[in-house]
Structure 1
Amino acid sequence: MASSTDDSTPPDNMAPQPAMPEVNRLTAADITASLKAGFSDFLARPVMSGFFGLFYAVFGILFVWCLVWLGKIWMIIPAAVGFPLVAPFAAAGLYEMSRRLQKGENFGWSEILTVMANQRKRELGWMAFVTLFIFWVWTYQIRLWLAITLQKASFSDFEGFLNIVLFTPQGWTFLAIGTCVGAFLSAVLFSVTVIAMPMLLDRETNFVSAMLTSVRAVSENPVVMLGWAAIISVTMLISLAPAFLGLVFTLPILGHTTWHLYQRAVSPAEV
């Protein structure tokens, strides 16, 4: 007697998993073209784009102020250096703006903010967890190496902390170790998020597949992606100098550019 259930047929409630997208080869010309497109998106909606940069900058200023208020002077430099690690998640609204501009769609604040709010129901929330976890690891290891290398040092203000870090052998050791560990963590976070963040906003997929696709894009285009990471790092660090206010302009442009680079790095989603 034949079974009423065909073992070769999946249950109705099991949706087929989307295939992993194809990763394309990139060149320096792709970064140049993406930067031009990103700058064009910024100029198309400068107020809305600048709002996201301003929000990020104000959050950074308040974050540093809280560290001063709490007496965590030693955390200011690590926080300022590690703060750009969470920028990819902050750029979600910019990705959505670029997506709509690319399609020629009209949109306002409500459309963009609604899409951002809806991300809490999707996989982008898990990517936020990954990002914040790596940022937490960054701050924790800085505290660890600070205790090991500067255990006999004392400082009561930010200027005293700078003098110890910049003009003592123990401070140089702390900077060297912190730089190496920070570079490693930044490389890991960049590899798993640079393509994953815009990909999760653009198509229905899970965050693990998005991270794997991002890592593939970086591993198959190491020179180009390393160049893009260097551009992001230098631009963001320079933007922090004028009290974080440079981020009002640089964060939106980098966010829009990342969207266009993602479009070039990954094959379009199947309709």
Structure 2
Amino acid sequence: MVKPPHIVFLCLIYPLVGVVLAAWTSGGNALPLLFPLVPGFALIGPFAAIGLYEISRRREAGLDTSWRHAFDVRNSPALPAIAAVGNMLFAIFITWLLTAQLFYQYLFGPAPPESTSGFINEIFATGRGWTLIILGHAIGFVFAVVVLCTMVVAFHLLLDRDVGAYEASHTRCVRCWRTRSPWLSGD
């Protein structure tokens, strides 16, 4: 609540991206990718929010936290590592989209939906549509867990300390494994 404009930005970015993705996929060929794109955006969300992490780091250090400091990330000595971790998230995002597309084609075939209403009816009124919903969410959950385990502290650590991309992305994962609990590992 200390920086309400930043919260407004965060609360507006996801709906705006959702509208852009919906408009982009409104054509028949990309319609099956609408749902995978929207939650898939959350997979690259940690990279997209790096400016907010910088503002948070500055606030904790007692420095000025105006919005223009979100761009100070470009002066970070860890910029190559930040880019490497961002590329890893982008690769996971692309892998998620390809997996979702392959799973959709496995169930429905390679032909694009004839219409939006026909597509929606096919998804919610057929057994293979419900299979897509249930197993698609399970597959997406696996991707989300991978990103959570590897990225929950990676960008914060990169902004705060001079560590490499590998160390930053594996810090939380190794601690979780050693304690067998993601909630007890403490960072």
The TM-score bracket by the shorter chain reads 0.7 to 0.9
| Equivalent residue, structure 2, for 1:98 | 56
Counterpart amino acid of residue 265 in structure 1: G
Q: Deviations over 1:138-188 (max 9, x none)?
A: 110111111111128863333322221121011122223212211111111
Is contact 1:200–1:206 with CA below 8 Å preserved after alignment?
yes
Q: What is the 5 A alignment of 1:179-190?
A: 179-190=137-148
In the TM superposition, residue 198 of structure 1 has moved relative to its aligned partner by 1.0
Counterpart amino acid of residue 61 in structure 2: K
Aligned mates of 2:3, 2:180 — CA distance in 1: 31
Counterpart amino acid of residue 87 in structure 2: F
Counterpart amino acid of residue 192 in structure 1: T
Aligned mates of 1:59, 1:152 — CA distance in 2: 27
Name the TM-score, length of structure 1 as normaliser.
Answer: 0.61
Q: Structure 1 stretches (4+) deviating beyond 6 angstroms?
A: none
Counterpart amino acid of residue 32 in structure 2: W
In the TM superposition, residue 71 of structure 1 has moved relative to its aligned partner by 4.2
In the TM superposition, residue 55 of structure 1 has moved relative to its aligned partner by 3.7
Q: What is the 5 A alignment of 1:89-168?
A: 89-113=47-71, 115-118=72-75, 121-151=79-109, 155-168=113-126
| Equivalent residue, structure 2, for 1:211 | 169
Q: Residue 152 and residue 102 in structure 1: after superposition, are their counterparts in 2 closer, same or farther (change >3 A)? A: closer
In the TM superposition, residue 64 of structure 1 has moved relative to its aligned partner by 2.4
Aligned mates of 2:166, 2:15 — CA distance in 1: 30
Q: Residue 70 and residue 204 in structure 1: after superposition, are their counterparts in 2 closer, same or farther (change >3 A)? A: farther
Q: Which has the higher contact order (CA 8 A, sep 6+)?
A: 1
| Equivalent residue, structure 2, for 1:14 | none
Q: Residue 49 and residue 122 in structure 1: after superposition, are their counterparts in 2 closer, same or farther (change >3 A)? A: farther
In the TM superposition, residue 218 of structure 1 has moved relative to its aligned partner by 3.1
Q: Percent identity?
A: 25
> Any idea what SS the aligned residue of 1:105 has?
coil
Structure 1 residues not aligned, in runs of 5+ = 1-42, 226-263, 267-271
Is contact 1:100–1:107 with CA below 8 Å preserved after alignment?
yes
Counterpart amino acid of residue 5 in structure 2: V
Q: Deviations over 1:105-137 (max 9, x none)?
A: 223233222x23335833111111111111111
> Any idea what SS the aligned residue of 1:84 has?
helix
Q: Deviations over 1:46-65 (max 9, x none)?
A: 11342244344423321221
> Any idea what SS the aligned residue of 2:26 has?
helix
| Equivalent residue, structure 2, for 1:65 | 23
Aligned residues: 185
Is contact 2:50–2:155 with CA below 8 Å preserved after alignment?
yes
> Any idea what SS the aligned residue of 1:224 has?
coil
Name the TM-score, length of structure 2 as normaliser.
Answer: 0.86
Q: Which has the larger radius of gyration?
A: 1
| Equivalent residue, structure 2, for 1:79 | 37
Aligned mates of 2:82, 2:112 — CA distance in 1: 42
Is contact 1:88–1:197 with CA below 8 Å preserved after alignment?
yes
